[in-house]
Structures are given as structure tokens and as C-alpha cells.
Amino acid sequence: MNRRESAPSGRQGHAPRELNKGKRSWKPGNMLSPVPVVLASCGGTKGWKPNLITIAWIGSVCSDPPMLSISVRPDRYSHDIIRATGEFVVNVPSLDLAKAVDWCGVVSGRDTDKFAGTGLTPAPALKVGCPIVSECPLNIECRVRRNLPLGSHTLFLAEVVAVQVSSSLVDSRGRLDLQKAGLMAFAHGHYYALGRHIGHFGFSVRKRKKRGRT
């Protein structure tokens, strides 16, 4: 008889564990914060009127090809538009658009023209049929590659096919400075302004340049 204990598989056999010092158990949920908050524009083609939806369940998923995902509840008006047209634009808003962003998240596009209601300006996209939001400093045009029903939300996995940025964010060397855009974030039902710049990727291992003697 083999007296060695076998490792438990899955959740079976796991005894309750003591919490780490200073920690409390919390109900499993969408705790990842902060996250971006954006206005996704869709429609304007295939018989669908242009619409806006506020999205916080969004993220980059691949660099080459550039891809991102958004998650939308099936009962939202924009869900059927995106599924039917296979495209949308991620419009990244600045702080001065916070009220419009919130309003687009609580009003339905089925019976409301959100562009008219917010005073935002629809403008032509470069590669997709739906409009961009002219006032947003960053507009990311996307074509859907896969629809993944997950439960409460459908995840739309999309490829970035074009990007438009406000000219004021590009310096004389052609570099994009998004810090000038005054972007915001979303965390547990609240909107926040981004804080100060604290470093760039790799700053922790970058060697400091030696100063020359004077």
C-alpha cells in the first residue's frame, strides 16, 4: 500500500486556510482597479444609428497584431450593434468629459441620441464605418475578430486597425505625450483623475548617467 499522500486536485481536499496577518477575506468579484474608462462609439452603418456606450471592462490583449477587448452586457443596445457591424471605436476621454462619460453609461441609446444629448461631435474614422468622438484626445478604431459570451458579459476581441490622436499631444520630435491629455480612471463605481508621473517602463534598472567633471 502506498502511504504517500497524493496532492489534492482542484478545490477538493483543500482545508480552510488562516488569513495572513493584516488581511481580511473579501467576496470574489471584479476587484481589479483602477481601470480605464472610455466611450465606445458604434453604429452609423448597416442601418444602425450612431451610438455611444461607456465601457470600463476594457484592456489590451496583444501587441502584434495590436488587439484589445471590451466586455458588454447582452441587454445593452450597443451589444447588438457591435455584434452586427463587427466594429467600434474606443474613444479615450479627458477629465473635462467626465459628466458626458457618466451620462452615456446610464442612458440607453435605444431612445436617446447620445451625441446630441452630450453635445459631442461625431467625426469620420479612418478605417471603420462608425464615427469617432472628436473631443476625445485618443481614438482607437477596432474590428471585431471574436465574440466570446462569458456569462453576464460578451467579450469582443478586436484588432486595432487605425488610431487618431489630438495634434496637441504630439511634441516637436513626434513623440506622444498622453500626460497632457488629462486622462481619468475608474475604480469601484467612482471616477478619478490620474496622479503624477513617477517613472517610465524600465526606470528601476536604468543606470544613471555620470556627471562630467566641472
- Measure the CA–CA gap between 182 and 52, rounded to whole angstroms: 21
Residue 4 lies in a domain: no
State pLDDT tens for residues 3-48.
444 444 445 556 668 889 898 888 888 888 899 999 999 999 999 9
Residue 212 lies in a domain: no
pTM: 0.87
Residue 102 lies in a domain: yes
Give me the CATH number covering residue 46.
Answer: 2.30.110.10
Bond prior to 34 in cis (omega within 30° of 0): yes
